[in-house]
Amino acid sequence: MTPVQILDSTLRDGAQAEGISFSVNDRLELARILDGLGLHYIEAGNPASNPKDLAFFRQARELKLRRAKLCAFGATRRKGSAADADKSCAALLEANTPAVAIVGKGSSLHVDEVLKTTPAENLAMIEDTCRFFARAGREVIFDAEHFFDGYALDPAYALETLRAAARGYARVLVLCDTNGGAFPWQAAEITRKVCGEFPGCAIGIHAHDDGGMATAISCAAVEAGARHVQGTLLGFGERVGNAGLSAVIPNLQLKLGYACVEPGQLASLTQYALRAASVANTRLRGGTPFVGASAFAHKGGMHADGVLKNPASFEHIDPAAVGNRRRVLVSEMAGRAAVLPRVQRLYPDIGADDPALERIVAALKDRELGGYSYEGADASFDLLIRRSRETLPAFFELISYKVLDQLPYQGERSATATLRLRADGRVKTAEARGEGPVNALDLALRGALRAFYPALARVRLIDYKVRIMDSAAGTGSRVRVLITSGDGARQWTTVGVSHDIIEASWEALADSIVYILLNDYKIDGK
């Protein structure tokens, strides 16, 4: 397979996205994730424009990257000076990375309007700056800004800017669609011409998704001869975002036959994407191609049926090839056929025509009308199935809780929860202080149950999410709480719904404990 090198710019272009900001620790962790996936370059900041970026590069030297080269990003030298007298170039050099990406103007319009210099001086700026870093032993990647617009306007000059970089020993010449306005067929045609002109350089593509074309442009450019692709793993970037590598890489590798990452790493792509989203404190959108939770989710009766008969009918690739999995969604639309496999996992004797199945589907619809959603809450769905079938053991029974939250704080914490419950025939009262009312209640519940169920000491809350459901109702809105718990070996998610966030959280908390007690105590109720 022909190799294609990948440069990830999550830490540079990605940090330009609205709502994204990385701490130094986030950046180090993201660099480890990107290296783990096996990408070739990690573009990690602009040391000249941002002292925090320079500080990061200093710390980053301690990262033991197995494959990726760190890359610092900066602009060509100022007009009318020399690279070795330029402060920005000095800062870039100080970052001490094996590779540098130098951005220069690829369009005569921008030379004139933005740089306000002559075409010849722009060429000299590009050549000098590239040569300066090449002589200092850096691998130089030249990013030709506005290249496609510039080529449309004045192809001869656009090519001259690349020639200047090549004379300065740039190893990679990157064609940038800076405003994201190109179409893939335009990008492919221009890339093909450029590849013909520069047989000695690798040609790269840097696409933005403003027109919704970034993935297609990246793949089309590779088909036209590009061998270096720039993007960001999750598509983070200014405005609409950069080319999302989590879509570009599997398209190139699984469908078009290029080698980007090791095959074993590709089979964990979804896990890398989830870890990166978690560090970036964003949700990995369900509809993200290849790696989203919905990417292989089937809801319609016909589709859910068809995909079981022949997966290729409704799946463009095997989800396992990118570490994702097929899901048949539980919802009123899916009906009995989709619910049945879930029911049979718990009760193998229930068949498709069993009235018990009808009761479970009815209970599900009823809860969905009340605002519950089980699409992400598998453990609560298991409990719903079991409760519509049998009386589950009463591991504990809530008598009452009271949560008091006040300002000014009493002591160091704002909230106190008092809980009374019955377990094993005894009444137990527990009190706890917490950072907020839900935390206090959570601590009180664990405190009360510890004596009865020591195994619960291993259980941790892993994720806590709140969704306001009818937010237009203001502070009186209904709230859906999802809690993910884990005990080191397993993870499970439960759901609660109420107008009261504390009550919704209580419901999800209580379910999460019942779920693991049912499994740990092997009481299967049949």
Which residues ranging from 147 to 186 are in contact with a second copy (CB under 8 A)?
149, 178-181, 183-185
Q: CB 409 → a second copy: shortest distance, Å?
A: 9
User: CA angle, 37 as apex, 36 and 42 as ends, to 5°?
Assistant: 80
Site string for a second copy, 53-92 (x = CB under 8 A): ----------------------------------------
Establish if 391 lies at the interface with a second copy (CB under 8 A): no
- Residue 476, amino acid: G
Q: Which of 123, 415, 448, 514 binds a second copy (CB under 8 A)?
A: 415
Site for a second copy in 313-372 (CB under 8 A): 313-317, 329, 331-333, 368
Alpha helix segments (H runs only) across 182-300: 184-197, 214-223, 245-250, 263-266, 269-279
Site for a second copy in 221-240 (CB under 8 A): 223, 235, 238-240
Tokens found for residue 316: 């463009």
Number of residues that bind a second copy (CB under 8 A): 126
Distance CA 108, CA 114 (A): 10
Site for a second copy in 446-505 (CB under 8 A): 460-466, 468-477, 479, 483, 498-503, 505
- Residue 135, amino acid: R
Site for a second copy in 267-306 (CB under 8 A): 278, 281, 285-290, 292-303, 306
Establish if 414 lies at the interface with a second copy (CB under 8 A): yes
What phi, psi does 311 have (nearest 5°)?
-55, -35
Site for a second copy in 99-128 (CB under 8 A): 110, 113-114
Q: CB 304 → a second copy: shortest distance, Å?
A: 10
Q: CB 168 → a second copy: shortest distance, Å?
A: 22
CB 195 within 8 A of CB 225: yes
Establish if 421 lies at the interface with a second copy (CB under 8 A): no
Establish if 213 lies at the interface with a second copy (CB under 8 A): yes
Distance CA 206, CA 99 (A): 17
Q: CB 67 → a second copy: shortest distance, Å?
A: 25
184-197 vs 214-223: helix crossing angle, rounded to 10: 30
Distance CA 76, CA 95 (A): 16
Q: Any idea what DSSP says for residue 111?
A: I
Q: CB 82 → a second copy: shortest distance, Å?
A: 22
Distance CA 438, CA 371 (A): 20
Q: CB 349 → a second copy: shortest distance, Å?
A: 29
| Between 6 and 201, CB nearer to a second copy | 6
Distance CA 314, CA 30 (A): 33
Q: CB 526 → a second copy: shortest distance, Å?
A: 32
Site string for a second copy, 302-321 (x = CB under 8 A): xx--x--xx-xxxxxx----
Closest to 258 in 3D by CA, of 222, 302, 299? 222
355-369 vs 335-346: helix crossing angle, rounded to 10: 110
Site for a second copy in 6-45 (CB under 8 A): 15-19, 21
Q: Is 1 exposed, middle or buried (0-12, 13-18, 19+ CB in 10 A)?
A: exposed
